[in-house]
Copies of this chain bind each other. A is one copy, B any other.
Amino acid sequence: MSNAGDSQQDPILRVGSNKDLRITLIGTGTIGLSFAAFHLAHLLGPSQLTIYDTRPNVSQYVEENLPKFFAEEPSAAAISNIRIATSLKSAVEDAHIIQESGPENLAFKKELWANVEKHAPEQSLFWSSTSGIPASQQAQDMQDKSRLLVVHPYNPPHIMPLLELVPSPDTSEEVIKRTQEFWTGRGRVPIHIKKETTGFVANRLAFALLREAVHLVNEGVVSVEELDSIVESSMGPRWAVAGPFKSYHAGGGPAGLESFFKNIGGTVQDCWQDSGKPDVGDGWEKKIFKQAHDAYGTVDISERDKLMRRVLEVLKEEKSKGAQTSEE
């Protein structure tokens, strides 16, 4: 009972719904700033967002670059609310969550976490945004390796719901659970990846499709722009609504995925057999880079992001309607 009481009083143990939470971001590249925009929009009550970066004039840099991550200009109060820390110690010594989006460099991350561990409160959570360096490697010089895990966003994290939570074999179950609660409490989709797989899951899936896309364009079957149109008008919207397994399971009727493979497993296998295996550096690059450049020039990301927000809003609206209906 005293444990339950403690956990209710100690904000650090209940990051999911906490109203008095101190989050520290280390690194202010694109991912760091995008997370800053997300956290600013989701801080409840008198919470504190702290930023630490060794770049010169961090305050000015953040003031200039953070606003473009908001759909509308953030209120001055919101940005002026950010505390800029001038040392790693002062950045982390009070923090409940320490989220790192620094350079993709193992030596940097190993040293960082060993230092963070010296100064951070005992129960604070350590998250790395890395897209490729496993927590087990980053934690090599830590005393207590149970607190660190990868929290890999899908770019840009202030818009996209997915977070891949990739613990090392040493990360504790409790740390994973508290991290899940934090993101679920903020309407996001944290998925626990059970093994430290190269590239995690989302990128591996996307790159598998990209490889076949490169092959088909390289063979002259369609152009870069036609391939994008195909995806945008078929599996893109389909998979926004129901992922590949669910879609093919639905396609199989009452007998589901089994029936799907019974009906068209032969075609699936023929496609797998015939699929290309281009490698990076194989010589397709020049042609495909040129086609992308000719078709798109420089993409207006703000337009894309606006549209992304709308699509995600609709999905959220309709899914919550669906949930209400099924609860009635």
Contacts and interface: CB of A to CB of B under 8 A. Distances in A.
Contacts of A270: 132, 198-199
Interface string A21-39: 0000000000000000000
Interface in A157-171: 160-162, 164
Interface in A299-328: 299, 301, 303-304, 306-308, 310-312, 314-315, 318-319, 322
Contact of A213 (B231, B244, B250, B311): B244
B239 A239 contact: yes
A41 interface: no
A307 B246 CA distance: 14
Interface stretch (A47-55, A78-86, A136-144, A185-193): A185-193
Given A212-B205, A238-B308, A267 B230 contact: no
Interface residues of A, number: 108
A249 B294 CA distance: 11
Contacts of A108: none
A10 interface: no
Contact of A204 (B131, B275, B310): B275
A103 interface: no
Q: Could you say which of A197, A239, A253, A258 has the most chain B C-beta atoms within 10 Å of its C-beta?
A: A239
26 contacts: A162-B230, A162-B234, A164-B230, A189-B230, A191-B222, A195-B221, A197-B221, A198-B270, A202-B235, A203-B267, A205-B227, A205-B231, A206-B234, A208-B272, A208-B275, A228-B243, A237-B308, A245-B291, A245-B292, A246-B299, A249-B299, A250-B301, A253-B298, A254-B298, A256-B292, A272-B280
